Amino acid sequence: MRRPQDTLVRELLKLCGRPEVISFAGGLPASEGFAVEAMRRAADEVLSQMPVRALQYSYTEGDPILRQAIADFETSRGTPTSADEVMIVTGSQQAIDLIARSFIDAGSRVLVENPTYMGALQTFRNASPEFVPLPHDEEGLNPAAIDSSFAGARFAYVMPTYANPTGMTLSEERRIALCQKARELDLWLVEDDPYGELWYDKPAPKSLRHWAPERTLRLGTLSKTLAPGLRIGYVCGPKEALNVLSLLKQTCDLHTSTFAQLTAARVFTSGALEEHLPQVRALYKRQAQAMLEALEAHMPEGIAWTRVEGGMFLWMTLPETVNTTALFKRAIDAGVAFVPGQAFYAAGDDTHHMRLSFATVPVDKIRTGVERLAGLLRAAL
């Protein structure tokens, strides 16, 4: 049997469970943000009104009711989408796996932000690609620096909105420029957007798919807006591409839980989701602000962090002399945890960053945790 690579970070993160540790290392959404009552009502209605549809085998592409609900949702966010441009998957993680298996041959080039989502890198690695980092500057991914040497790559995997791990958002101008480059170089774009709905003050820019629908596979999920336990994600893209992913999905799990799909669909179509989202946004905004204020108040000189405008994460940059992986165990002893930045790099050996999540930490603990972290960093500098 082939054993997938286990990571150092996975080992480290096991230490975060100690009760005295305030953990900013989590990647979970806040469970206070789950629309429990709406789902309870929806599940009951589904099993009362359409039990056979909810419980029998179904289409690999997803139940038409949910595909239509998501098409309408995407359309309401500014990108006209039809139900046959939507495919349902078992969490957007499954879309990453299907795309990896459909697009990548051993040694083929895949363009990634550097750093990027660890779970995507791990999944892509199953197919043994060569990762090529996309050019960045202080505003994030820099399309102007993408030249013809990037042509021939299988796709560019991009998280343009409130990214994991950096918290950064690509400007509309750069989105348009990236799509233009993709067209010139005939590149597919894989737009992973788990956090886009979690804006604090104003909605995120329009999706990449809006600007290049013919070459974008846009991954969405209900894990951060409704609940991850449903395992409902989706892919929007050209029908022909979805057909290919769907034939592969059939061999992976036949289809995604119809019961979960129809329960989710009802939360969309009843209006409960749109009613619920403002509370979720307010929750994350409150906690993000608490962290930003505490960082401002306590962090020593020479440390920078992203001024996040949405999502669950921020990214801290330390002087190059500090190795955050080495620092991790001392942080645990000091009662605070983060994810060492190293985990998120596909290439290179960048070790002076850390990812902080405020998503599941109450405001008072955020303050205490940041104070502990600041004390540790003052000692380290």
Query: Which residues in this chain contact its own copies in the complex, by CB under 8 A?
Result: 1-4, 6, 27-29, 31, 34, 36, 39-40, 43-44, 47-48, 51-52, 54-58, 89-91, 93-94, 96-97, 101-103, 119, 122-123, 126, 223, 227-231, 241, 244, 247-248, 250-260, 263
Name the nearest CA neighbour of 171 among 148, 195, 143.
Answer: 143
- CB 334, CB 376: distance < 8 Å: yes
Q: Is 297 left (phi over 0), alpha (psi -120 to 50) or beta?
A: alpha
| Phi, psi torsion values for 18, nearest 5 degrees | -55, 135
CB 331 within 8 A of CB 322: no
Pick between residue 81 and residue 92 the one whose CB is nearest to its own copies: 92
CA-based radius of gyration for the chain: 21
- Smallest gap, in angstroms, from Cβ of residue 18 to its own copies? 19
Phi, psi angles (nearest 5°) of residue 225: -105, -35
Please check whether residue 357 is in contact with residue 311, taking contact to mean a CB–CB distance below 8 angstroms.
no
Identity of the residue, 57 or 202, whose beta carbon is nearer to its own copies in the bound complex: 57
- Cβ 43 vs Cβ 258: under 8 Å: no
| CB 132, min distance to its own copies, A | 19
Q: Based on CB atoms, which residue is closest to its own copies, 258 or 306?
A: 258
Q: How far apart are CA 171 and CA 185, in angstroms?
A: 21
Q: Smallest distance, Å, CB 44 to its own copies?
A: 6
Q: What is the DSSP string of 154-209?
A: SEEEE--SS-TTT-----HHHHHHHHHHHHHHT--EEEE-SSTT-BSSSPPPPPHH
Choose between 4 and 19: whose C-beta lies nearer to its own copies. Answer: 4
Tokens 């909605």 -> residue? 203
Helix axes 36-49, 272-298, angle to 10 degrees: 150
Minimum CB separation from its own copies for residue 255, in Å? 7
Report in angstroms how near the CB of residue 357 gets to its own copies at its nearest: 13
Nearer residue to its own copies within complex by CB, 56 or 321? 56
Phi and psi angles of residue 326, each rounded to the nearest 5 degrees, phi first: -65, -35
Encoded amino acid at 352, one letter:
H
- Minimum distance, C-beta of residue 118 to its own copies, in the bound complex (Å): 11
**3-state SS, residue 284:** helix
Measured from the CB atom, the residue of 96 and 356 that comes closer to its own copies is 96
Whole-number Å distance between alpha carbons of 114 and 89: 26
Q: Find tokens 């101008």 and name the residue.
A: 173
CB of 82 to its own copies, least distance (A): 21
Nearer to its own copies, 108 or 180 (CB): 108
- Whether residue 338 contacts residue 228, with contact meaning beta carbons closer than 8 Å, is answered with no
Give 2 or 202: the residue with its C-beta nearer to its own copies: 2
| Choice between 215 and 367, CB closer to its own copies | 215
The distance of closest approach from Cβ of residue 124 to its own copies in the complex, given in angstroms and rounded to an integer, is 9
- CB of residue 131 to its own copies, shortest distance in Å: 15
